[in-house]
């Protein structure tokens, strides 16, 4: 069973950029599909991006073109790089892992088996 811890976040500027990481321990990191979700106060948790076991990536329309999800299996770390930040990017970000090599519906939270506790939150200024 894998444990996930999100790192990074804090105050960022609109039109700026941010980089989040998710460190894993336990389990075999390389076998999982990995995703990022986010939740702003008063909103439901929404999907951001997913990277499959093989490295294929998919993105929510709201972040496509300004967001990159990546993974380093040797470091057991998942990353999210986002640029051209908008006020609506302010949220708590969660990483998640799925035992499926590739998710048919990566945006669905119920496809993921393990979740982090969320980062410190990312607010925009």
Q: Which residue intervals of the chain are DSSP H helices?
A: none
Structure tokens at 31: 């076998």
Rg, the chain, Cα only: 13
What is the 3-state composition of the chain as percent helix, strand, coil, each rounded to the nearest 5?
5, 45, 45
Query: How far is Cα 105 from Cα 74, in angstroms, rounded to an integer?
Result: 26
Model confidence at 125, pLDDT cuts 50, 70, 90, reads low
Q: What are the tens digits of pLDDT across the range 70-106? A: 999 999 999 999 999 999 999 999 999 999 988 999 9
CB 47 within 8 A of CB 35: yes
In degrees rounded to 5, what are phi and psi of residue 41?
-55, 130
Q: What percent of the chain has pLDDT over 90?
A: 79
């Amino acid at each position: 069973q894998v444990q996930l811890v999100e790192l990074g976040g804090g105050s960022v500027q609109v039109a700026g950029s941010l980089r989040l990481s998710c460190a894993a321990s336990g389990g075999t990191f390389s076998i999982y599909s990995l995703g990022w979700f986010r939740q702003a106060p008063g909103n439901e948790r929404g999907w951001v991006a997913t990277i499959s076991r093989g490295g294929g990536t998919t993105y929510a329309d709201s972040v496509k073109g300004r967001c990159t999800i990546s993974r380093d299996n040797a470091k057991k770390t998942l990353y999210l790089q986002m640029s051209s930040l908008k006020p609506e990017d302010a949220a708590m970000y969660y990483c998640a892992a799925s035992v499926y090599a590739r998710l048919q519906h990566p945006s669905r939270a119920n496809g993921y088996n393990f979740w982090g506790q969320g980062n410190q939150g990312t607010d925009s200024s």
